[in-house]
Amino acid sequence: MFIHKKEIMVPVDIKEPDPHFGQYLLEQFGGATGELTAALQYFTQAQHTDDPQLRDMLLDIATEEFSHLEVVAHLIEAHTKGAQQAKAFESTLFSIRGKGPHLLDSQGQHWTASYVNEGASPVRDLRADVAAEAGALATYEALLDKATDEGSKKALHFLATREVAHTQMFMDALKAMNKLDEPNFGNFKPDDTVDLYFNLSSTGNPSDDKPAPWIENSSFKYIADPENAKHPRQK
């Protein structure tokens, strides 16, 4: 059961409306990394698990993302309300669509369910969620760089902070499953190439073809010249 409480999650107090910034904000309403995408992604993923606590967490975060969507909607409305007479308004999507949020991104592309990343495995889903939060945070950081109104900055800073919190929740859940840094999350059995790193960016100069520190200090075997070297499956 969902109940809409008429109390916004964070205050929206815009002193300097800017329809152009309102168009940027559409990215977090109807865009690929937006709050609608996140809410539907986590809500759907919650149905993939039999773990009641994991399901609750995904549903809780999905519900919060809907609350974030409401904040973004209020921000967009505040930046476009009463702008019909402004010259800037005529050069934005709102001149045709009207004020307030729409299921579009900042470039006018319609929202699509293909943005939602979900599958049959809770581990796979949680890993997708970490990436989703990273995308949302990057978008919020870009919006904060463009924001000139203090009210917008405060609301966006709150929303960005919650993305960091959600990322940590997903990572903690993976850690509890011992799957935070385990690349294989199912019953798949890798073959004997699983620990090989092929240098496919060779310069032809051995002194330049050195593995990156995270490869050199890992369990991977660095194959400097894969074209001429035989790996185990070629024996």
In which residue ranges of the chain is CATH 1.20.1260.10 found? 19-176
pLDDT tens digits, 195-223: 999 999 887 777 777 899 999 999 999 99
The Cα 96–Cα 70 span in angstroms is 22
Read out DSSP for 131-183?
Answer: HHHHHHHHHHHHHHHH---HHHHHHHHHHHHHHHHHHHHHHHHHHHTT-SS-S
CB 21 within 8 A of CB 146: yes
pLDDT tens digits, 74-87: 999 999 987 767 88
pLDDT at 233 over 70: no
- Among 43-52, 76-85, 100-109, 140-149, the range scoring the smallest mean pLDDT is 76-85
Give the pTM: 0.92
Residue indicated by tokens 């943005």: 115
pLDDT at position 101 is 98
Task: For residues 42-52, give the mean pLDDT.
Answer: 96
Average pLDDT score, the chain: 93
pLDDT tens digits, 93-128: 999 999 999 999 999 999 999 999 999 899 999 999
Count CB-CB contacts under 10 A for residue 14: 19
What is the CATH architecture of 19-176?
Up-down Bundle (1.20)
pLDDT at position 232 is 55
Per-residue confidence band for 234, with pLDDT thresholds at 50, 70 and 90: low
